[in-house]
């Protein structure tokens, strides 16, 4: 059931990225953008569900179980440390396995994001899209190195602004209404709202 939960959540994330890729591809290849474009989120959603649901399902099946595979190694490491029977050799083997799975997960996530774009543009399957996107990235590695930090900074600044704006609005609402008298600490509530808005902004910006 845990595997099914991970697979299902990964499927919805993959489907969302596929829809965004389809919308961006339709907008980018519109010949005359000044006269308007025919980009429709509903149409892209139907296209993703009817034509690319198998690709999204297979991609989520490849990505999802990695978290499921890494979990037993983490539990095993904690159990060995709890019993006090750990040694350097066992810790080294488990850390190497964890590091290998982490690198594989990061590589597949990075490759799959660009594979969805290839699928949206050309209708390739997931394996062929990953192959084409990998060689596309290696041919343009200098541009990727230059553009990567800019995208991370834009995402970080936007998350900070959204989180700060949510905290300010929450403080004003709690301060101007009668809820302030009912709360023991307004700062704790704002801190919780800030944490939720930080993660929500991260999901939105991704």
pLDDT in tens, 158-193: 999 999 999 999 888 877 776 666 667 778 888 899
pLDDT in tens, 19-31: 888 888 888 887 7
Contact call for residues 34 and 41 (beta carbons, < 8 A): no
| pLDDT at position 105 over 80 | no
In this prediction, residue 13 carries a pLDDT of: 82
DSSP per-residue letters across 120-175? HHH---HHHHHHHHHHHHHHTHHHHHHHHHHHHHHHHHHHHHHHHHHHHHHHHHHH
pLDDT over 70 for what percent of the chain?
89
Q: Which residue has the tokens 């900074």?
A: 153
pLDDT in tens, 49-99: 888 888 888 888 877 666 667 777 777 777 777 776 667 777 777 778 878
| pLDDT at position 35 over 70 | no
In this prediction, residue 161 carries a pLDDT of: 92
Residues 6+ apart with CB under 8 A from 27: 33, 37, 39
Domain boundaries, the chain: 1-30+38-139, 144-206
pLDDT in tens, 116-157: 888 888 888 888 888 888 788 788 777 777 777 887 888 889
Contact call for residues 124 and 118 (beta carbons, < 8 A): yes
In this prediction, residue 179 carries a pLDDT of: 65
In this prediction, residue 165 carries a pLDDT of: 93
In this prediction, residue 181 carries a pLDDT of: 67
Burial of residue 184 (CB within 10 Å: 0-12, 13-18, 19+) is exposed
Cα 10 to the center of its chain, rounded Å: 9
């Amino acid at each position: 059931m845990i595997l099914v939960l991970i697979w299902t959540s990964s499927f919805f994330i993959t489907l969302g990225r596929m829809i965004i890729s389809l919308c961006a591809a339709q907008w980018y290849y519109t010949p005359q953008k000044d006269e308007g474009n025919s980009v429709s989120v509903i149409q892209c959603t139907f296209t993703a569900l009817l034509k690319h649901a198998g690709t999204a399902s297979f991609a989520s099946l490849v990505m999802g179980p990695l978290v499921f595979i890494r979990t037993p190694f983490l539990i095993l490491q904690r159990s060995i440390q709890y019993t006090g029977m750990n040694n350097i050799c066992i810790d080294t083997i488990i850390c190497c396995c964890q590091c290998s799975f982490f690198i594989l997960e990061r590589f597949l996530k990075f490759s799959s994001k660009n594979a969805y774009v290839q699928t949206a543009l050309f209708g390739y399957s997931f394996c062929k899209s990953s192959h084409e996107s990998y060689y596309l990235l290696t041919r343009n590695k200098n541009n990727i190195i230059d553009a990567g930090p800019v995208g991370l900074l834009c995402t970080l600044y936007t998350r900070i602004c959204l989180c700060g704006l949510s905290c300010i609005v929450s403080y004003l609402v709690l301060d101007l209404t009668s809820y302030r008298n009912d709360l023991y600490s307004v700062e704790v509530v704002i801190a919780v709202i800030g944490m939720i808005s930080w993660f929500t902004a991260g999901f939105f910006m991704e």
